[in-house]
Structure 1
Amino acid sequence: MKKEHCIFCQRDAIKIVFENDLAVAFWDIHPVNKGHLLVIPKDHKEDFFDLSDDELLAIKELIFKGKELTDKNFKADGYNIGTNVGKYGGQTVRHCHFHLIPRYIGDDPKPAGGIRKILVKGQELI
């Protein structure tokens, strides 16, 4: 996807919560839980593997600021932090983005295993 067609590159389409020189954080418009933040590089990079070390550090800084904010305002009991890469990794917006998803007691009756729960059990793994 080209930068001019990327929703995350259209800064007027997102409400920025935090930013630094290389990254921005904003609320997910389709949150999994209250307090769900997205953190993206300012430059259009398709996925995690396109990021520079400096961009990774900038994103990490905002993930920590996001955790502090959600701890204070939403009293999260845990977190999921992740990024999807490619169509078969679940990526739907072709601009690298990290999810900071607060988790709460009772939001999943059996939270153990996280993303592993969606995969077919019994598949042979390498």
Structure 2
Amino acid sequence: MCLFCGIINKELEGFFIYEDNNYVAILDKYPISPGHTLVIPKKHFENYLDADDNTLSELAKVVKIVSLGVKDAVKADGLRILTNIGESAGQVIFHLHIHVIPTWEGDYPELFKSFKPRREQSKEYYELLQKIIRESIEKLKRKTGDDKWG
């Protein structure tokens, strides 16, 4: 079974920050930086090049929504948005996913001083980020009145 399909189907644990009929966003289990999030179509595609144009178009909209929420929630100065295609590019899980990776000009905000990159974090870390990012997305949803915000 595909790891992401298991998470999407709620057979495996995942910290969901966004979900609609076709897409989810979950916190990365081994984050590069605080707030590192994965945006994933529910329909299984091995990678970006295997997905149809409609999926990619809608995925881009969800990535923007999630990115705005993540950036606001963790007070990031910037973001890296990327995907890996193939093992040689660093793809580990062969289900299309887009990484949203917050960046800062200096140190992490005080809230994340104990963060250790590329390690599984405490359950409290995931629960806190899940809460603050969801709140940020909800705030943006109210501000725009757009029903695509999950």
- Mark yes or no: TM-score above 0.5: yes
Residue deviations 1:37-78 (CA, integer Å, cap 9, x gap):
101111111000111122112211221111221232111111
The root-mean-square deviation of aligned C-alpha atoms, in Å, is: 1.4
TM-score, reference length from structure 2: 0.64
Greater RCO, 1 or 2 (C-alpha within 8 Å, sep 6+): 2
Deviations 1:3-26 (A, max 9, x none): xx1110012222321123322111
Q: Aligned equivalents of 2:16 and 2:75: distance in 1?
A: 21
Counterpart in 2 of 1:54?
54
**Does structure 2 conserve the Cα–Cα contact (< 8 Å) formed by 1:19 and 1:62?**
no
Going by fraction, where is helix more abundant, 1 or 2? 2
Q: Which amino acid aligns with 2:3?
A: I
**May I ask how many residue pairs the two structures share in their alignment?**
103
Equivalent residues in 2 for 1:21-100 (5 A)? Answer: 21-100=21-100
Provide the rounded CA distance (Å) in 2 between the counterparts of 1:59 and 1:28: 17
Percent identity for Structure 1 against Structure 2: 36
Unaligned residue ranges in structure 2 (runs of 5+): 108-150
State the Cα deviation string for residues 77-121 of structure 1 (Å, max 9, x = none): 1111100011111101011111010111136xxxxxxxxxxxxxx
Structure number with greater Rg is 1
- Counterpart residue type for residue 85 of structure 2: V
Structure 2 Cα separation of the partners of residues 94 and 104 of structure 1: 29
